[in-house]
Amino acid sequence: METIQKIKGTHDILPDTSGDWRLLEKTIHRIMQRYGFQEIRTPIFEATNLFARGIGQLTDIVSKEMYTFEDRGKKSLTLKPEGTAPVIRAFIENSLGEKRPINKLYYISPMFRQENPQAGRFRQFHQFGAELIGSPEPFADVETILNVLDIYKSLGLSSFTIKLNSVGDENCREQYKNALRDYLRPRLSKLCKTCQERFESNPMRVFDCKEAGCIAETEAAPRMLDHLDQASADHFEKVCALLDQHQVAYELDYRLVRGLDYYTRTAYEVVSNALGSQNALGGGGRYDLLTQELGGKPTPAVGYAAGIERLLMVLREEKLLTDNSLSLDVFIASIGEKAQEWASKTARLLRDNEISADMDLLGRSLKAQMKEANRSNAKFALIVGEQELESGQLTLRNLQQSEQTEVNSADLVGAIRKHLDAKFK
């Protein structure tokens, strides 16, 4: 019979790597807590118009990449392609802004985009992200940047660059877009088809184009940073000054416009020096108008999201992952039915006492059981046959160091704990 395979662009996280995920998630929870961010979990799917309105109809994500389907009631649903719009939906729906003026929320979640799979680009991928809702202050922008950097630092990562830009706000962006259109109009025929199409709707996206022709044509184009109004310019200057004070290095990048429409003012990306073309480890920025656009009260906000698969790729590449596979404390190898019954009871006793234990479930030979114990990466094997049951003296073999001692069945838990503490703590 034909076997069924996973969907293109998705991955199984198998036991040999799930330990790396646990380590990463533990680090993220720890650092988020250190910053006063609280976890939020939103559903995997949402009403489609949340993303259409939130991210923008004309973005690649909404126009080409969403997993959208109708449920049986003919309601259009979409698997979440990103976390910010859902978090803001939940923020509004649960009146979180009325409960406290600042909400610091974070998430770790799968996301779904129907992109062409390649190294570092998948259809189901995972992000961790932080959203700081309620403050217009540059301090808030910097807080989110420091947060993601601390997560990377805690994992030992240092080979990345922070790119920074301001994309202006409603008071200066339209004027700037007109200036940009004026510059591009006589050069339109030299731009690629996609850039030509975006010329009217969103000319700033030309800066994101990777085509050599488009890059060359926009080298001397007017830049948003030179067209900010006073308030946005002051805001950006303060963000830069604060980063300087924190001795956080960054590069100004006038080409950084981001692929989602909700950004205002600060935009940033963390780019890895160890990845290929999909080198954005994470990205974010300020989105002061999104809450209002989704039907809430005007509420300034800033945040970021970062890809977990890409982070793991870099950590692996830089040999920053140690062996995180779980090991077992004790494997009980038994000979004969009576001993097997004893093993079953004893495994339960050990587990009740926080000692991880496993036993043979196939009635195998002692040799095969010892092989299984090694395969489980067990610290000790407890070997028991009828004779041992009668005498109460059992063999405890340290599998990592190939030594063995006798332990008495009367105080097995105490004896095993003593050996675990002596050898493995």
Instruction: Rank residues 148 and 180 by Cβ distance to ligand HAM and give the closer one.
Output: 148
Instruction: Rank residues 8 and 75 by Cβ distance to ligand HAM and give the closer one.
Output: 8
d(CA 271, CA 164): 11
CA-based R_g, the chain, Å: 28
- Smallest gap from Cβ 310 to ligand HAM, in A, equals 5
Chain residue at closest Cβ approach to ligand HAM: 307
Q: Tokens 């990205």 — which residue? A: 283
Instruction: Rank residues 116 and 247 by Cβ distance to ligand HAM and give the closer one.
Output: 116
- Smallest gap from Cβ 278 to ligand HAM, in A, equals 7
Instruction: Rank residues 122 and 380 by Cβ distance to ligand HAM and give the closer one.
Output: 122
Rounded (10°) CA dihedral 308, 314, 318, 319? 40
- E-only strand ranges, 3-150: 38-39, 45-47, 68-70, 76-79, 103-112, 124-133
Instruction: Rank residues 140 and 240 by Cβ distance to ligand HAM and give the closer one.
Output: 140
| CA 32 to each of CA 38, 108, 305: distance values in angstroms, whole numbers, following the listed order | 7, 11, 13
- Smallest gap from Cβ 129 to ligand HAM, in A, equals 5
Backbone CA torsion sign across 72, 77, 81, 83 = negative
- Smallest gap from Cβ 288 to ligand HAM, in A, equals 11
Backbone CA torsion sign across 76, 77, 80, 85 = positive
- Smallest gap from Cβ 188 to ligand HAM, in A, equals 28
- Smallest gap from Cβ 112 to ligand HAM, in A, equals 9
Instruction: Rank residues 122 and 207 by Cβ distance to ligand HAM and give the closer one.
Output: 122
Instruction: Rank residues 88 and 384 by Cβ distance to ligand HAM and give the closer one.
Output: 88
For residue 90, give both structure tokens.
């939940």
Q: Check if the beta carbon of residue 104 is closer than 8 Å to that of residue 35.
A: yes
- Using the 8-state DSSP alphabet, how is residue 186 labeled? G
- Smallest gap from Cβ 124 to ligand HAM, in A, equals 8
- Smallest gap from Cβ 107 to ligand HAM, in A, equals 10
- Smallest gap from Cβ 303 to ligand HAM, in A, equals 3
Give the residue from 211, 221, 208, 199 showing the smallest Cα distance to 259. Answer: 208
Instruction: Rank residues 88 and 333 by Cβ distance to ligand HAM and give the closer one.
Output: 88
d(CA 23, CA 18): 9
Q: Provide the H-helix boundaries in 56-137.
A: 60, 84-93, 96-99
Backbone CA torsion sign across 222, 223, 224, 227 = negative
- Smallest gap from Cβ 92 to ligand HAM, in A, equals 16
- 200-203: long-range contacts, CB 8 A cutoff, minimum separation 24: 201/58, 202/58, 202/261, 203/177
- Smallest gap from Cβ 259 to ligand HAM, in A, equals 6
For ligand HAM, the binding residues (CB under 6 A) are: 82-84, 113, 115, 120-122, 125, 127, 129, 131, 259-260, 280-285, 287, 303-307, 309-310
| CA 317 to each of CA 274, 311, 351: distance values in angstroms, whole numbers, following the listed order | 8, 10, 37
**Residues 6 or more apart in contact with residue 72 via CB below 8 angstroms:** none
Instruction: Rank residues 122 and 342 by Cβ distance to ligand HAM and give the closer one.
Output: 122
Give the residue from 90, 94, 86, 79 showing the smallest Cα distance to 55. Answer: 86
- Using the 8-state DSSP alphabet, how is residue 269 labeled? E
Instruction: Rank residues 183 and 254 by Cβ distance to ligand HAM and give the closer one.
Output: 254
Instruction: Rank residues 83 and 134 by Cβ distance to ligand HAM and give the closer one.
Output: 83
Q: Is 104 exposed, middle or buried (0-12, 13-18, 19+ CB in 10 A)?
A: buried
